[in-house]
Structure 1
């Protein structure tokens, strides 16, 4: 079940550098390395509740392309039912203090938040979205990724999909993904979904995350680090960070931005290590 932290945070300003295309039946934001740089692999981002049009998610795709020399796909997996982008600002306002008029406005804000969040929760259950995600990864593996490594990077809502993709699904004898990364995943079945992982996955989780609490973090760590070579994962704990820090951190706060940057580097380093020398 989603929590308030799944919808809170900061919206970044600026203009993403990628392009929007139609690919395998879905609208997709695509970011690529600078001209002249070879593509080392494909990263497919499975986003948080705010979906493929959310500026933060597009900036993240740009950073993966620039820093890692990857072609990055950010698809529309939610069929137009992402959480509205005004929700984080309203949540921040709701939890602020203030005088009498601020408190009188709160019922109005709560009603709008329910209006904004409930459709996402109802229309993007795992049972509805998983076939869309799996079919897209299958199509990319059979086409654009036929000879390239493929990674999945899942955030919040997208984390559960990443872990399921890492369970060893294949197409024509090739894995749908070669490695996965997830930051602050939500709605996990622990330990069941972790035990089923067959591809290496890197986790980035804050110790203040109310979706995956410290005892669960340690349980995940013990499971993925005990897996055999080729399946073994890693867990990095970000102290003081809450749910959503890798995508929606308030970059006005120096430490929050630093942790978001570190999570970016963690993902890129993980894919670099697991894609090195890999081809089909």
Structure 2
């Protein structure tokens, strides 16, 4: 399922430092360790509905690479059908208008949101896009990640794909990913998707997120904690935060503390699960 909150938030300030290349048939943003050291693991960042070019996610990839010497990839999984970033401004004017003019222009922004959101949701439905994600991950494991741990982190739309990958797909007897992290995932089939996971995944969910409410988060946590050793996950609920807080902020709470802590949660999870992994 999807919701208006999937399209809210803000564009972050900063200049990305990575590069763009072609990898396994897809355009990919690449962030390399700034230390000059060889990467100790590969992270595939699966974006939210705004796609692989969104500067907020580029900055996040740069941060992951700098802090932990990871190589981070953000592939173009949407075939040019990402939602335009201009939707962020329109949605804020619909939900929290600040002037009489913004209130007066609400109908225009509502129409604009419908015209742009519905195609993005339709063309990027998981049944259509997951085969593209899975194929890229298979090629990555056979090549660049043949001898490195692989983590996948997904936000909103990308969270669904992270959880699907956690079902335990392999290639050449190696898992497509060794650990996953997702913040405010969307399009979930609760709780079937969670039950099927065999790869450990860490969840970051705001207690005001209407995609996974606090009661559902508690049930989700129980499911991932009850899994066998080697498959156990975790679920942290962020008080006062809504959908999108980890990568865009949200109209309910624009305090960046939640995003910073969610990034720390992801990095700690990967460090824990990459330790001792060799191929």
* TM-score, length-scaled by structure 1: 0.96
Change (3 A) 1:99 1:138: closer
Structure 2 equivalent of residue 262 of structure 1: 261
For residues 77 and 208 of structure 1, what CA distance do their matches in structure 2 show?
28
TM-fit CA distance, 1:99: 5.8
What residue in structure 1 maps to residue 94 of structure 2?
94
2:49 aligned partner: 49
Instruction: Please tell me the root mean square deviation across aligned C-alpha atoms, in Å.
Output: 1.5
Structure 1 residue ranges, 4+ long, deviating more than 6 angstroms after superposition: none
Aligned partner of residue 235 in structure 2, secondary structure:
strand
Q: Give yes or no for contact 1:250–1:257 (8 Å, CA) kept in 2.
A: no
User: For residues 36 and 30 of structure 1, what CA distance do their matches in structure 2 show?
Assistant: 14
- Summarize the Cα distance change of 1:153–1:186 in structure 2 as closer, same or farther, 3 Å threshold: same
Query: 1:107 Cα deviation (Å)?
Result: 1.2
Q: CA deviation at 1:44?
A: 0.1
Instruction: Output the CA distance in 1 between the equivalents of 2:24 and 2:136.
Output: 7
Mapped contact 2:35–2:69 kept (Cα < 8 A): no
Residues 105 and 70 of structure 1: CA distance in aligned 2, closer, same or farther (over 3 Å) = same
What SS does the aligned partner of 2:277 have?
Answer: coil
C-alpha separation between the residues in 2 aligned to 1:186 and 1:98?
28
Distance in 1 (CA, whole Å) between partners of 2:193 and 2:170 is 18
SS in structure 2 of the partner of residue 161 of structure 1: helix
**Inter-partner Cα distance in structure 2 for 1:175 and 1:100:** 55
Partner of 1:34: 34
Q: State the distance in 1 between where 2:102 and 2:239 align.
A: 32
Distance 1:153 1:99 in 2: 38
Which residue of structure 2 lines up, in the alignment, with residue 76 of structure 1?
Answer: 76
TM superposition shift of 1:98: 5.4
1:102 deviates by 3.3
What are structure 1's unaligned runs of at least 5 residues? none
Q: Give ranges in structure 2 of 5+ residues lacking alignment.
A: none
- Count of aligned pairs: 278
